[in-house]
């Protein structure tokens, strides 16, 4: 493809993007579910001869948009959002056309330096004290794995990487029973093992915070049994119902016990750009050693963009840095972010943050989050008035509810809602019961979009509440 052709198709792609987004409200949020439907439309063997771009484009338009679950649909209320503000898409388009690989400072100096500055912009935006640095990762899962590996190396006197874990005793990591499955997986692949991830009970509504006394007792018990406590993983805004731990308790325990403390705020971290929300949800956060939050969820930076703040990056670098000859660089005053993470290769992820934060300003981003929190509360009240059981009250913009009937009836209602297509929600389990999860957070959603959900839910629950 020559570059004039590239420019013409690039313009067409941008035009397609604008039309797609403007028309999203007319599409069902989720496509009809019939596995195999899309694979059947693709050639089963690769072409020997190159094809015309026009033919590729036509097939793209014919096959792809219809087969997507539209994460950017304004009535996407499932999971958590994966927002992509238009200006962050533009940045990603530019990253695509520049196509740098940013593993070392010298392989992309501006990307490295912008990453450092964006980390510090976000540090200030979230009210973290000076001294925290950090790195942009692909996902919270990777950041948490990095933290768990750091816990492992610290607890083994920095010998785990070299000697393996066979003679190290049982390393223990502690968390509440509300944490995300990425914590389990990090412990699996770090060689800690599921059985050594100790999940403690919580103290109940509304925080569902880990029981600090139970945590202390368990650490003491484990030490007495000859096990090796390595770290604590706290959560602010857990996936199920938005649980948040009381950080001052955990910071104190981590200090007393010499443990590394990692905080998973993948979703709720974005909301901490609103100063009025910090006192409730993350007082004490400055005592954490590692904090992850995903600007690619609620903030509006296109996937993937996960920020890990580190109080002192040295422990993580000592855990992950490896420097064969071909990666050595001369001049030691630079940061090489690939030494802070598991993958070597790195995308230029800072550019979309730079575009996003400059274009909307922190006030523009805050007002969205405040609206989402307000509208989630209003919808919750409306459903309550209609006789739905509110199982967990709104935490930020997330609440759970049940319609009439048993667990099966809840799943049937979720399936009916999603087949209807006007909105999209997911189910969850809370305290052994099936619940319907509702979160507001899509970048373009309006109050009308949120309130339409009440109409849809009422209608499909058949007025049986
Ligand atoms: C989304 C989420 C994760 C996983 O994030 P990825 O970036 O997809 O790995 C982890 N923890 C919480 C609380 C989340 O909401």
Structural domains for the chain: 101-347 (3.40.640.10)
CA gap 16, 407 in Å, rounded: 42
CB of 82 sitting under 6 A from ligand 1: no
CA gap 50, 11 in Å, rounded: 22
Contact criterion met (CB below 8 Å) for 209 and 242:
no
CA-to-CA separations, 337 to 116, 268, 343, in angstroms, rounded: 9, 25, 10
Nearest atom, ligand 1, residue 179 CA:
13
Q: What is the pLDDT of residue 143?
A: 98
Following CA atoms 380, 386, 392, 393 in sequence, which dihedral angle do they give, to the nearest 10 degrees?
40
Q: What is the pLDDT of residue 92?
A: 98
C-alpha neighbours within 13 Å on the C-beta side of residue 105:
11
CA-to-CA separations, 294 to 83, 404, 427, in angstroms, rounded: 10, 35, 22
CA of 350 to the centre of ligand 1 (A): 19
- Nearest-CA neighbor of 205 among 379, 386, 400, 428? 400
Pairing of strands 171-176, 228-235: parallel
CA of 267 to the centre of ligand 1 (A): 7
CA gap 436, 460 in Å, rounded: 13
For ligand 1, mutation pick of 234, 244, 266 (most atoms within 8 Å of CB)? 266
Nearest atom, ligand 1, residue 238 CA:
13
CA gap 276, 284 in Å, rounded: 15
Name the closest-CA residue to atom 5, ligand 1: 140
CB of 266 sitting under 6 A from ligand 1: yes
CA-derived radius of gyration, the chain: 24
Name the closest-CA residue to atom 4, ligand 1: 140
* DSSP letter (8 states) at residue 302: P
CB of 180 sitting under 6 A from ligand 1: yes
CB of 282 sitting under 6 A from ligand 1: no
Contact criterion met (CB below 8 Å) for 196 and 171:
yes
CB of 139 sitting under 6 A from ligand 1: yes
* Distance of alpha carbon 251 from the chain centroid: 23
Name the closest-CA residue to atom 1, ligand 1: 266
Q: What is the pLDDT of residue 36?
A: 87
Q: What is the pLDDT of residue 463?
A: 58
Nearest atom, ligand 1, residue 267 CA:
15
CB of 136 sitting under 6 A from ligand 1: no
Nearest atom, ligand 1, residue 142 CA:
9
**Could you say which residues of the chain have pLDDT below 70?**
331-332, 463-465
CB of 238 sitting under 6 A from ligand 1: yes
CB of 80 sitting under 6 A from ligand 1: yes
CA gap 452, 363 in Å, rounded: 27
CB of 298 sitting under 6 A from ligand 1: no
Contact criterion met (CB below 8 Å) for 273 and 250:
no
Host H or E run for residue 306:
strand 306-310
Q: What is the pLDDT of residue 324?
A: 84
């Amino acid at each position: 493809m020559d570059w004039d052709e590239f420019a013409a198709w690039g313009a067409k792609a941008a035009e397609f993007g604008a039309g797609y987004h403007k028309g999203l409200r007319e599409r069902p949020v989720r496509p009809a579910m019939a596995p195999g439907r899309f694979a059947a439309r693709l050639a089963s063997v690769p072409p020997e001869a190159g094809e015309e771009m026009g033919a590729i484009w036509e097939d793209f338009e014919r096959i792809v948009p219809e087969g997507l679950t539209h994460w950017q649909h304004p009535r996407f209320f499932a999971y958590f959002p994966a927002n992509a503000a238009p200006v962050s898409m533009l940045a990603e388009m530019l990253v695509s056309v520049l196509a740098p690989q940013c593993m070392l400072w010298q392989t992309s100096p501006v990307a490295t330096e912008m990453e450092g500055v964006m980390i510090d912009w976000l540090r200030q935006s979230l009210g973290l004290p000076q001294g925290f640095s950090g790195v942009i990762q692909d996902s919270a899962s990777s950041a948490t794995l990095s933290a768990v590996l750091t816990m492992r190396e610290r607890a083994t006197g920095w010998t785990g990487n070299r000697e393996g874990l066979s003679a190290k005793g049982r390393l223990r990591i502690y968390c509440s029973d509300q944490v995300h499955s990425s914590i389990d997986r990090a412990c699996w692949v770090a060689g800690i093992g599921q059985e050594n991830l100790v999940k403690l009970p919580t103290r109940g509504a509304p925080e569902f915070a880990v029981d600090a006394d139970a945590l202390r007792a368990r650490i003491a018990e484990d030490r007495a049994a000859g096990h090796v406590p390595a770290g604590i993983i706290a959560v602010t805004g857990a996936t199920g119902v938005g649980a948040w731990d009381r950080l001052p308790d955990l910071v104190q325990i981590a200090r007393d016990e010499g443990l590394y403390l990692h905080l998973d705020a993948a979703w709720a971290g974005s909301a901490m750009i609103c100063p009025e929300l910090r006192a409730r949800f993350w007082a004490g956060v400055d005592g954490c050693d590692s904090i992850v939050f995903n600007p690619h969820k609620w903030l509006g930076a296109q996937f993937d963009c996960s920020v890990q703040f580190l109080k002192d990056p040295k422990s993580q670098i000592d855990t992950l840095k490896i420097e064969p000859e071909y990666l050595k660089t001369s001049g030691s005053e630079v940061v090489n972010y690939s030494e802070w993470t598991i993958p070597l290769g790195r995308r230029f992820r800072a550019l979309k943050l730079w575009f996003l934060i400059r274009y909307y300003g922190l006030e523009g981003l805050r007002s969205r989050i405040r609206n989402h929190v307000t509208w989630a509360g209003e919808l919750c009240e409306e459903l309550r008035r209609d006789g739905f059981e509110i199982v967990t009250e709104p935490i930020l913009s997330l609440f759970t509810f049940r319609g009439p009937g048993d667990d099966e009836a809840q799943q049937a209602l979720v399936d009916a809602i999603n087949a209807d297509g006007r909105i999209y929600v997911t189910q969850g389990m809370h305290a052994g019961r099936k619940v319907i999860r509702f979160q507001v957070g899509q970048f373009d959603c309006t109050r009308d979009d949120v309130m339409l959900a009440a109409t849809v839910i009422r209608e499909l629950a058949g007025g049986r509440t």
